[in-house]
Amino acid sequence: MLPNFANRLKAGLPFHIYGTGAQTRTFCYITDALVGFLLVIAKGVPGEAYNIGNPADEPMRRCPDIRKAQLQLKYHPRVPLEEGLRRFLSWTNGVYTGES
């Protein structure tokens, strides 16, 4: 979804919404997700499931319950939605222009 939005935004085109537009998405910045996954590998109980995500950035219908990861693994996502989107769009500028 985000790459499509970024492409259309940078091209000055309207966004294309697939489906009814009532769908919801969850967002967790990649560094927060990777830290969570690594904490599960390093400190998690074998065979246990852990929710990794950012409940502050989620629609209420899809809000992940990360209490177990917070309590057992000391997992705390750090990148808020607006900052994650800013970083993503900044990164896409480098990708599209060939800059790093």
Mean pLDDT of 65-73: 96
Count CA within 13 A, CB hemisphere, residue 97: 9
CA dist 33 and 16 (Å) reads 27
pTM for the full model?
A: 0.76
Please give the mean pLDDT across all residues of the chain.
85
Is residue 59 very low, low, confident or very high in pLDDT (cuts 50, 70, 90)?
A: low
Mean pLDDT of 8-17: 82
